[in-house]
Amino acid sequence: MPDEHYEAGEHVPSSLTAHTAPDDLRFTTAVDVYAGYGSQWHVYPVESVESRSEILTEPPEHLDTDVSLYTLPYEQLR
């Protein structure tokens, strides 16, 4: 079970963003967020996407360095 879930259009929480991220950074698709070891976060779309850039309204470079984006849902990678 994911640690957090966000729907399309919801703001990306500050815990996942870099300090330089725009205030209006949003998810463009529903995602599940899983905590990893240490401060690592893993963000999986609920439905497959073609590229990581399809998950956010801005480029993925606005995410913290401890955040990994995936193009397949978590269950498909198990």
26: Cβ contacts below 8 Å, ≥ 6 apart: 8, 9, 10, 11, 12, 56, 57
SS3 22: coil
Taking only the tens place, the pLDDT of each residue in 15-42 is: 999 998 998 999 999 999 999 998 899 9
Does residue 68 contact residue 23 with C-beta atoms inside 8 Å?
no
Q: Kindly report the pTM of this predicted structure.
A: 0.93
The phi, psi pair for 4, rounded to 5°, reads -145, 155
Q: How far is CA 61 from the centre of its chain?
A: 12
Taking only the tens place, the pLDDT of each residue in 1-16 is: 999 999 999 999 999 9
How many C-beta neighbours within 10 Å does residue 12 have?
24
